[in-house]
Structures are given as structure tokens and as C-alpha cells.
Amino acid sequence: MKNVRLILLALLFATTPLLAADHQILVSNFSFTPENLTIQVGDTVTWTNEGGTHNVRADDGSFRCANGCDGTGGNGDPAPAGWSFTLTFDEPAELIRYHCEPHGAPGGVGMAGTITVEGLEDDIFSDRFETP
């Protein structure tokens, strides 16, 4: 009986990545809450500004958002409270650093945060055979 329970538990965890979750980050008081977030591949993260003029820029420039995101029809310039946007993270990443441009800087300075994306690299073969 104990073994059956363990197997069921293992199945539950094994199938968890199929259920994408949405994570909330509050933008307010010159900080991101939670500051450091760990998610699973395929999950979404929603930033919501509830106070002050801020934006969210990846240290590596891969995204820059506030009222939507640059390059996807939105505007990543710092903007007053009221905006919210959602990003989907489809690939594992050890530490994605981001910051608010007016109140932070790359490398975790000032108003900044991190996202770690856990999961298996499932596109290792498609990467290898990708045409340039």
C-alpha cells in the first residue's frame, strides 16, 4: 500500500510540468515582490505595477516591458501605476536578471529581481537541426 502511494505521488510530480502556472510579481515601493522567483518551464509571470513609475528590463535586453513589451506592440518605457503584462518562459534558465531602469541597474542593483526557470531541455534536438 505504501508503494502504491509513492507511485501515485511520483506520477503527480512527473505530470506537474504539464500544468503551466501563472506567477504574480508586485511592482511597488521601489521593489519587485517576490524579488527572486523560481518557476517551471512553460509557466507565465505577470508583473503588476501598483505604485510609482517603473518598468521591467531584462539585464540582457531580451525583454523590456511596462505597458506591454517593446517589439510586441507594447511600450516598455517607464510608466505610472496601473500597468500589467505577462511573459511566458519556455526554456530553462539558471538566472534571468531584470531591473527597473529609473530605479535599478544590471547585476541586481537597486530595484531589481531574478527569475529561475526549472525544467528539462526538451528542444535539444530541434536546436541542433535548426536551419540558420
Residues near Cu ion (CB under 5 A), total: 4
128 vs 114: CA distance, rounded Å: 28
Q: Is 61 helix (H, G, I), strand (E, B) or coil?
A: coil
Q: Which residues in the 19-48 window bind Cu ion by CB under 5 A? A: none
The reply to whether 103 sits near Cu ion by the rule CB under 5 A is: yes
Helix ranges (H only) for 16-132 are 124-128
The reply to whether 56 sits near Cu ion by the rule CB under 5 A is: no
The reply to whether 96 sits near Cu ion by the rule CB under 5 A is: no
Is residue 51 within 8 Å of residue 131, measured between CB atoms?
A: no
The reply to whether 64 sits near Cu ion by the rule CB under 5 A is: no
> For residue 36, how many other CB atoms are within 10 A of its CB?
12
The reply to whether 54 sits near Cu ion by the rule CB under 5 A is: yes
Q: Which is nearer to Cu ion, 111 or 117 (CB)?
A: 111
Q: Which is nearer to Cu ion, 87 or 100 (CB)?
A: 100
| Contact string (CB under 5 A) for Cu ion, positions 104-123, x = contact | -------x------------
Q: Is 6 helix (H, G, I), strand (E, B) or coil?
A: helix
26 vs 33: CA distance, rounded Å: 5
Q: What is the binding site for Cu ion (CB under 5 A)? A: 54, 100, 103, 111
